[in-house]
Structure 1
Amino acid sequence: MERRKEGLGDDQDAGLEPSTGAPGLALRREIGLWSAVSLIAGCMIGSGIFMSPQGVLVYVGSPGASLVVWAVCGLLAMLGALCYAELGALVPESGGEYAYILRTFGSLPAFLVVYTFVLVGRPAAIAAISLSFAEYALAPFYPGCSSLPQALIKSVATSCVLLLMLVNVRSSRLATTLMNVCTAAKLFSLVVVVVGGAVVLGQGRGRTEVFLSAFQGTTRQVGRIGMAFYQGLWSFDGWYTINYVIEELKNPKKDLVWAVMIAIPLVTSLYILVNISYLLVLSPSEILSSDAMAVNWGYQVLGSWAWMVPLAVVLSTFGSLNGSFFGGSRVCYAAAREGHMPRFLSMVHVQHLTPAPALMFTTMVALVLVILGNFSTITFLCSFLSWITNGITISCLLYLRIKKKDLPRTYKVPTLIPVIMLLASFFLVLAPIIDNPQMEFLYVFLFLLSGFLVYFLFVYFRCQPTCLQMATLHLQLLLEVAPSTKNH
């Protein structure tokens, strides 16, 4: 690792532009507009819409309030994505939040963000999605079984992670093609749920009475409302993924904003309609008592075609997992290129031009979490860390609005939008801590403190063991990778 320059606060206005870096290989620009839309929608639509409605309803206490939570979650995702689009225009580098914080606030804050993201955040998301994939993939083989063998679930999840690593290492184009196919399939499955609810309503079998007292029993506890948003926002997680791969967009200045404006409203509309369909078919008590709510919906509406529901969940989770791999590995790659991770992780395969070392490292950490963790703990950790990072990133935009007013901007959002997002981030981070303190919050705090030690030891003072240099050389020869440079 090597010491990097500080951010814009040190009179380095040019820091918003990517540095040229050393000569080397670069990632291909292969992502067009519709692939960008597919990447955003594909990462957002995973297991959440099939599992989170139960969590939202149990925390807010009423069907009407749960629909409001889903709509607000979609609005927050849209506002956040618009803010990120402006930052992406100012800092046209892969890496998303990491790149923006690095160029705005400097090396240490950026390192702490990428430290948590690379070692916990993204691998945890991959682990959670792969476990969901395994559960629904195995469900048809264990009919009527309330608890599947954990060893088998973890084995299937591990196999899925390894398969997608191989796909992403082999070809970025193959990975985006797979993403496009999975996104089309999962959009179709959501449309089936929406149409199924409409048919039930048209036949007069819908539970319309639930909407007559839609807000009865709504909670007033701030902490429970915050936890409901955590459940809903997990289903929208991935709205920022396109910012991780800006250097691979064919036309980033145009496609970035258009992809956001197409994908997020589309997904939000489908999520709300799918929740309405659930409420028309299943009573609130049935939703709360069911371990596989979407499957129960399928039995009541689709009959002998109910097998389509677990298939839809499998396709959704597989596509979302592929998107998490594709975007998350680019953050690791960008951080290593800046000296905040071992330089080896910034190399690309000499033939396939993919960030193979970053993909493999992300895979190894994710597999550790798959083996040791469980779904509920991992999703909570992901949401908590994600909104800490989102709040810091949005503050970058507000800082640049105040301190760097003269920067050329091809796209700009009203200042009220980042202010709303910053307040929402504060609420989502602080409300659960105040209402229901847990040991997990202490673990996150201690992990962040450890980041200071790692930063000063390996980045600031540039301690680089000889064995690490030798390992880098041998791995470079073994994996056929070479140093990279940035796309412009």
Structure 2
Amino acid sequence: MEQNGLKREMGLASALATVMGTVIGGGVFFKVASVTTEAGTANLTLFVWLLGGLLTICAGLTVAELATAIPQTGGAIKYIEYTYGKPWAFLLGWAQMLIYFPANVAALSIVFSTQLINLFRLTAGLLIPLAILCAVSLTLINFLGARVGGALQVVTLIFKLIPIALIVIFGLLAPAPVHFSLLPLTAAPEHNFWTALGSGLLATMFAYDGWLNVGSIAGELKRPKRDLPLAIVLGLALITLIYVVINFVFLRTLPLTALQGNLNAAADAAFQIFGNLGGKLVTIGILISVYGAINGYTLTGMRIPFALAYENQLPFSQYLRRLTTHTKVPYLAGLFELAVAIIMMLLGSFDLLTDMLVFVIWIFSCLIFIAVFILRRREPEMVRPYKVPGYPVIPLLALAGGLFILVATFLTQPSLAFTGLGLTAIGLPLYYWHQYMQKRTH
């Protein structure tokens, strides 16, 4: 395996900060709306947040084995390519380019616009125009160069944690207007328990999204064998604790009916806890946090079609790999991602978009879990600086959880599942057609 020249300078503290910064995004503030709707009760809501965290820990520990054994730029795409071949790797890149990154930008732009309208009491008709303006502004900012986009990411990372800390600390200290019991674990009377569990779990996974990339820091750790599993377990365990506690605060601050389907639930809880002025300040913090999350997906997203075009794997590759003269940014790839995101904003809601991207990315996540078993058998001599602890139990738990999410989506949202599968599958004939055309022209 190539070691790609990365310096091993990161200790446990910086690894822990990277893991937490990668995963914590806008979902923690907005997924309470759909999780409470799907779960139907307060205690099942908290349970699926906990379950989502445990599944994420198992998944992160499993993928980290491949990250240390195949420490190449490209992460998950390279693990898929090494195990299954180029067509499958292209399919993941295609899914990220066409669904994952633009759907993240579209979904988070919609909630950014929703918060803005709620905060300044604007007309609801501005929802989509403001969402488009948000996505366009961040694309243009990233055209100024990776340094500018990266600096914005650092600033917004700080703001990301402030509203979470304030809501958790003051929300726990404030008197509880709402009371509920943690046991026995039940769904709402009109909900099937397992359907509610599956749909609720799927909804939480958007907030935990980002775990697939936590292994990418392996090549820069001083002691990857010790620090990588520690950073993943501690980082994801802390995130799980934060998510469970902040949702506990939401549930004890507002009635369940006030949370269900309400994308402004976090802001409403902030107004309840801090009063009018404090609520506005916390909501502004949430807005900055979401803006930063969109920036992260914009910054990374435009580099996916560029990377595929650089290897001449896409039609019109000669255009998609073009860079700006001074800042060396893939501007046509960025405009393509922006165009797809805008189409998604016009066609879908926040929950529809996030559920689709979670479903599609978990198909490839399951393939990556299986890859750990394949490579253990196929290449037992492969150098593995880190091996997943508790093998084969933890990879099997990650795989079982992933398959549960996929099956639950098929059963509860078949049209969404087939749409996601269809958009992904289009990539395969496109790949072979482009390969055929390449051979004809050479």
TM-score normalised per structure 2: 0.86
Question: 1:454 deviation in Å?
Answer: 0.6
Change (3 A) 1:410 1:198: same
Among 351, 361, 365, the alignment partner of 1:376 is 351
Between 1:370-379 and 1:420-429, the stretch displaced more is: 370-379
Question: 1:193 deviation in Å?
Answer: 0.7
Distance 2:298 2:18 in 1: 11
Post-superposition CA distance 1:162-192 (Å, at most 9, x none): 3322333433333333222212212111111
In the alignment, what sits opposite 2:238? 266
Among 356, 359, 366, the alignment partner of 1:391 is 366
Distance 1:252 1:461 in 2: 46
Change (3 A) 1:52 1:448: closer
Distance 1:417 1:338 in 2: 35
Letter in 2 for 1:373: G
Among 108, 111, 115, the alignment partner of 1:132 is 111
In the alignment, what sits opposite 2:130? 156
Check the 8 A contact 1:63/1:214 in 2, yes or no. Answer: no
Among 273, 282, 290, the alignment partner of 1:309 is 282
Q: Does 1:422 align with 2:394?
A: no
Among 385, 388, 408, the alignment partner of 1:410 is 385
Distance 2:272 2:96 in 1: 41
Among 418, 421, 439, the alignment partner of 2:415 is 439
Question: 1:303 deviation in Å?
Answer: 0.8
Change (3 A) 1:122 1:333: same
Among 282, 285, 293, the alignment partner of 2:257 is 285
Question: 1:357 deviation in Å?
Answer: 4.8
5+ unaligned residues in a row in structure 1: which ranges? Answer: 1-15, 21-25, 467-488
Letter in 2 for 1:462: Q
Between 1:372-381 and 1:352-361, the stretch displaced more is: 352-361
Question: 1:65 deviation in Å?
Answer: 1.8
Change (3 A) 1:17 1:348: farther
Among 116, 141, 148, the alignment partner of 1:174 is 148
SS of match in other structure, 2:381: coil
Q: After TM superposition, list the pairs within 5 Å mapping 1:58-457 onto structure 2.
A: 58-142=37-121, 148-149=124-125, 152-200=126-174, 205-207=175-177, 209-211=179-181, 215-217=185-187, 220-242=192-214, 254=224, 260-261=232-233, 263-288=235-260, 290=262, 292-304=264-276, 305-341=278-314, 342=317, 345=320, 351-352=326-327, 354-414=329-389, 415=391, 416-434=393-411, 436=412, 438-457=414-433
SS of match in other structure, 1:302: helix
Distance 2:268 2:336 in 1: 38
Question: 1:42 deviation in Å?
Answer: 4.1
Among 437, 450, 459, the alignment partner of 2:435 is 459
Distance 1:331 1:392 in 2: 20
Change (3 A) 1:158 1:102: same
Post-superposition CA distance 1:220-250 (Å, at most 9, x none): 543332111111111111222455x769x75
5+ unaligned residues in a row in structure 2: which ranges? Answer: none
Check the 8 A contact 2:112/2:290 in 1, yes or no. Answer: yes
Distance 2:298 2:8 in 1: 17
Post-superposition CA distance 1:2-38 (Å, at most 9, x none): xxxxxxxxxxxxxx548x9xxxxx9x99996777655
Post-superposition CA distance 1:402-449 (Å, at most 9, x none): 111110111111322221111111111112313x35333333343344
In the alignment, what sits opposite 1:484? none
Question: 1:210 deviation in Å?
Answer: 0.7
Change (3 A) 1:448 1:298: closer
Check the 8 A contact 1:124/1:378 in 2, yes or no. Answer: yes
Question: How much identity, in percent, do the aligned residues show?
Answer: 25
Check the 8 A contact 2:115/2:287 in 1, yes or no. Answer: yes
Check the 8 A contact 2:186/2:193 in 1, yes or no. Answer: no
Between 1:53-62 and 1:68-77, the stretch displaced more is: 53-62
In the alignment, what sits opposite 1:480? none
Distance 2:343 2:9 in 1: 31
Check the 8 A contact 1:169/1:356 in 2, yes or no. Answer: yes
Check the 8 A contact 1:281/1:297 in 2, yes or no. Answer: yes
Number of aligned residues: 432
Check the 8 A contact 1:46/1:313 in 2, yes or no. Answer: no
Question: 1:271 deviation in Å?
Answer: 1.0
TM-score normalised per structure 1: 0.78
Change (3 A) 1:226 1:421: same
Distance 1:312 1:54 in 2: 19
Check the 8 A contact 1:38/1:179 in 2, yes or no. Answer: no
Post-superposition CA distance 1:256-296 (Å, at most 9, x none): 66654554233222111111111222222332374522222
Check the 8 A contact 1:194/1:273 in 2, yes or no. Answer: yes
Between 1:162-171 and 1:48-57, the stretch displaced more is: 162-171
